[in-house]
A and B are shown apart, each in its own frame.
Chain A
Amino acid sequence: MRREGSALSGAATVMAKELADNLTSTRMRLLELLIFVTGAGAVYATIGSVKDLAGLVGEDQFIFLRIFTTAKEPLPSFVAFLGFLIPIVSIALGFDSVNSEFNNRTMSRILAQPIYRDALLFGKFMSGLVTLAVVLAALWIFVVGLGILMLGLPPGTNEVVRGFAFLIAAIAYGAVWLAMAMLFSIVFRSSATAALASLAVWLLFAFFWQMLVPLITLAIAPPDMFDPMSQLATINVGMGIARFSPNTLFGEATQAFLNPETRSLGPVLASQMQGADRGAPLPFDQSLMLVWPQMTGMIASVIVLFTIAYIAFQRQEVRA
């Protein structure tokens, strides 16, 4: 039977309800703890380094951004922490969002309400996204606040803009994993299977992708020892394959946003750098232009994954 009216009517209600569920669940408590520990750990890691950095106040015009990117042994930098943490949070939020309704036999009850299936899925996804955004924004403000406390100076406009762009990139990155986890929660009726499938994909991209990329690259575009241009082509193909991983996209986006000196993400020829003023920061809009493809790629893949999930969900049979 065809739906009548907007696909979004009722989505706001579902979203509000789901958000209330998300924010009050035990799982959320655990996530909050994880966030707090991560944030504190990352900031602790940078305390010593930032004290060194504090000597650079006035010399380094982007000292605030260094808080995000400075790593101190044995702890990784805040950005590297987030690269790990965000997929886990997203998967935790999404892996049982649909199949738990089936397992609890609540799906037919919900759909008995004047709510379309579209609205249910939109609402669930939006609530997951809002939860993720709240968590990341809280973490971001936490770290920035600690940074102000330690450095004793407020961030500049440019730093705020760049930090905010980094937050948006982090949310987009989380949204990719959220959409994927929801897709698995629709495809697999068992929550455990969905969780395992999500974690498997995450493991693939987080750990195995960087090993697979050289293998695939060498198979597709083997470099010619005597032709530098073919070596360049090999590097480019390798980077293209690596960019299938959302981790790579997120890493490049953070690099461009948080290191304003980044002028290029790919290989650079010496001739291109002739006359260039090395170390000069790029204007923000140019950094945005640099990673616009990455940002676009993440946002578009969220939409595509959600569309697949949507189609899969719409085609499913719901029985009482």
Chain B
Amino acid sequence: MHLRMAALCLALAIGPASVAPLTAQDGGAVKGMWLATDYPALQLRAGEDASLPLTLYNYGLPPQRTTLTIADKPAGWTAEIVGSNKPVNAAFVDYNGKANLNLKLNIPADAKPGPYKLTLNAVGDAANSTLQIAVDLAAPLAAKLTAAPKFPVLKGTPKSNFDFNVTVKNESSSDLLVNLATDAPRGFQVTFKEGYGTQEITSLPFKAGDSKEVAVSIKPAPGASAAIYPINVTFNGDKANASAKLTMDVSGQPSITLTGQGERLSGEAYAGEERSVQLIVRNNGTAPARGVAVSSSPPTGWKIDFQPKEIPEIGAGEEKQVTALLTPPAKAINGDYMLTMRASGDGISESATYRVTVMTSTLWGVTGIAVIGAALLILVGAVGRFGRR
């Protein structure tokens, strides 16, 4: 029986260090069993959960089973003794060993402030111990929520996403459900995500003391003008609110389009003859486009020139005319050709496909009529020469 118990104790010693031999105290004069805690008198708050470390010491006594009971606790409180994360009612303590335990306390939020007392008993075969814990209960903390952005000011173009990270912390003793809202200007798209999650959220639950990262992604309206936009993100809990001041520094960006006169991107040309086509480069962006070069990579034999080849500056919302001079090769086949024209400037590029119908000059048609005319002349000549009764 003893042997089996020793083996069990050994197995426990190998596992989590709930029972460990105390070699330093060997041969000491102190003998007996004690149930102890680090801080037998402490202050707690109503509504809070508390965990107090307990230690059961055995100095110089034989290994023994020790029954643990909570002899006295304030009404309404729940308390339990936990060892290795499980509720326990007894512990086995080796010779010169100790058992590490925890006292879990759940204090109701409506408990009145004041002094309270808990009494714990440890009863072994040959010894017992009583632990008294004095708790000075303080009033519960007011609900408090804090929000701290990581980078409160971000800079970007109207096309970029502004990704703010806000750390929100529930610094109160109760759980909160927090709604997320912003006062972003009209047309700005705001999405909230938790940390690195992918789901868009509108509210977040916070446990007492929880801290979470909230990713606030704001996309400016497509035509947002260059300006600094202050954005207030509010986190509304049922008991507490927090807000974070974010700033979006939206810089202007040019955006160009290339079209023909009256948005028309088709035309006609005669083989081998130059044809001028009016193109319009428009800047729909929010900043001037500089150094916009107009170019084309024509099919073999085609000649495409632009006048001017480069536009030094197009202001925001302005448009400039470009004349394209197209010359199809003299041997071009009749019909439609697709020409790609390109306008590119500082970091912007836009291309348009222009459809040209190549036609044959009617000169050849006239030649054909001349051939028929010649044949008719021969006929008339023959009629004149051979006409007779």
Binding site for B on A (CB under 8 A): 1-3, 7, 116-118, 263-264, 268, 271-277, 280, 282-283, 285-286, 289-290, 292-293, 295-297, 299-300, 303-304, 306-307, 310-311, 314-315
> Which of A116, A271, A280 is close to B335, meaning CB atoms less than 8 Å apart?
A280
Query: Known pairs A272-B329, A289-B364. 16 more at Cβ < 8 A?
Result: A2-B387, A2-B388, A116-B389, A118-B387, A263-B333, A263-B334, A263-B335, A274-B301, A292-B368, A293-B364, A296-B368, A300-B371, A300-B375, A307-B375, A310-B386, A314-B386
The answer for the CA separation of A117 and B368 in the assembled complex, in Å, is 30
9 nearest A-B residue pairs (beta carbon): A275-B299, A296-B368, A314-B386, A274-B299, A303-B375, A280-B336, A277-B336, A263-B335, A271-B300
> Which of B331, B335, B364, B386 is close to A292, meaning CB atoms less than 8 Å apart?
B364
Residue of B whose beta carbon sits closest to that of A286: B334
- With A275-B337, A282-B335 known as contacts, the answer to whether A300 contacts B364 (CB < 8 A) is no
- Chain-A contact segment, one of B56-64, B140-148, B353-361: B353-361
| B23 contacts partner chain A, Cβ-Cβ < 8 Å | no
Q: What are 16 A-B residue pairs whose CB atoms fall within 8 Å in the complex? A: A1-B389, A117-B388, A118-B387, A263-B333, A272-B329, A276-B338, A282-B335, A286-B360, A289-B365, A303-B376, A304-B375, A304-B378, A310-B379, A310-B386, A311-B386, A314-B388
The answer for the CA separation of A308 and B329 in the assembled complex, in Å, is 42
A286 touching B335, Cβ below 8 Å: yes
The answer for the CA separation of A303 and B382 in the assembled complex, in Å, is 11
> Which of A272, A283, A289 is close to B357, meaning CB atoms less than 8 Å apart?
A283
The answer for the CA separation of A293 and B368 in the assembled complex, in Å, is 6
The answer for the CA separation of A277 and B300 in the assembled complex, in Å, is 14
Residue of A whose beta carbon sits closest to that of B381: A307
| B70 contacts partner chain A, Cβ-Cβ < 8 Å | no
B165-186: contact bitstring with A at CB < 8 Å (1 yes, 0 no)? 0000000000000000000000
| B265 contacts partner chain A, Cβ-Cβ < 8 Å | no
User: A167 to nearest B CB, angstroms?
Assistant: 19
Number of A-B contacts (CB under 8 A): 113
The answer for the CA separation of A293 and B364 in the assembled complex, in Å, is 8
Residue of B whose beta carbon sits closest to that of A307: B379
- With A303-B376, A306-B379 known as contacts, the answer to whether A272 contacts B333 (CB < 8 A) is yes
| B29 contacts partner chain A, Cβ-Cβ < 8 Å | no
User: A257 to nearest B CB, angstroms?
Assistant: 14
The answer for the CA separation of A98 and B369 in the assembled complex, in Å, is 30
The answer for the CA separation of A189 and B375 in the assembled complex, in Å, is 27
B289-309: contact bitstring with A at CB < 8 Å (1 yes, 0 no)? 000000000111110000000
- With A271-B301, A275-B302 known as contacts, the answer to whether A303 contacts B334 (CB < 8 A) is no
Interface size on B, residues (CB 8 A): 37
A311 touching B382, Cβ below 8 Å: yes
User: A233 to nearest B CB, angstroms?
Assistant: 15
Residue of B whose beta carbon sits closest to that of A256: B334
A310 touching B357, Cβ below 8 Å: no
A3 / chain B contacts, CB cutoff of 8 Å: 387-389
The answer for the CA separation of A273 and B359 in the assembled complex, in Å, is 14
The answer for the CA separation of A313 and B364 in the assembled complex, in Å, is 34
User: A199 to nearest B CB, angstroms?
Assistant: 26
- With A275-B339, A282-B334, A290-B360 known as contacts, the answer to whether A296 contacts B378 (CB < 8 A) is no
The answer for the CA separation of A279 and B333 in the assembled complex, in Å, is 13
| B362 contacts partner chain A, Cβ-Cβ < 8 Å | yes
A307 / chain B contacts, CB cutoff of 8 Å: 375, 378-379, 382
The answer for the CA separation of A297 and B374 in the assembled complex, in Å, is 12
> Which of A116, A272, A303 is close to B301, meaning CB atoms less than 8 Å apart?
A272
The answer for the CA separation of A118 and B382 in the assembled complex, in Å, is 10
The residue among A118, A263, A273, A307 with the most chain B CB atoms within 10 A of its own CB is: A307
Residue of A whose beta carbon sits closest to that of B387: A3
A303 / chain B contacts, CB cutoff of 8 Å: 372, 375-376, 378-379
B387 touching A116, Cβ below 8 Å: yes
The answer for the CA separation of A273 and B358 in the assembled complex, in Å, is 12
Residue of B whose beta carbon sits closest to that of A289: B360
A268 / chain B contacts, CB cutoff of 8 Å: 333
B386 touching A315, Cβ below 8 Å: yes
User: A6 to nearest B CB, angstroms?
Assistant: 10
The answer for the CA separation of A125 and B339 in the assembled complex, in Å, is 52
> Which of A117, A276, A314, A315 is close to B333, meaning CB atoms less than 8 Å apart?
A276
User: A174 to nearest B CB, angstroms?
Assistant: 17
| B383 contacts partner chain A, Cβ-Cβ < 8 Å | yes
A280 / chain B contacts, CB cutoff of 8 Å: 335-336
User: B298 to nearest A CB, angstroms?
Assistant: 7
A293 / chain B contacts, CB cutoff of 8 Å: 364, 368
A277 touching B338, Cβ below 8 Å: yes
User: A162 to nearest B CB, angstroms?
Assistant: 15
User: A308 to nearest B CB, angstroms?
Assistant: 9
A310 touching B360, Cβ below 8 Å: no
A315 / chain B contacts, CB cutoff of 8 Å: 386
A297 / chain B contacts, CB cutoff of 8 Å: 371
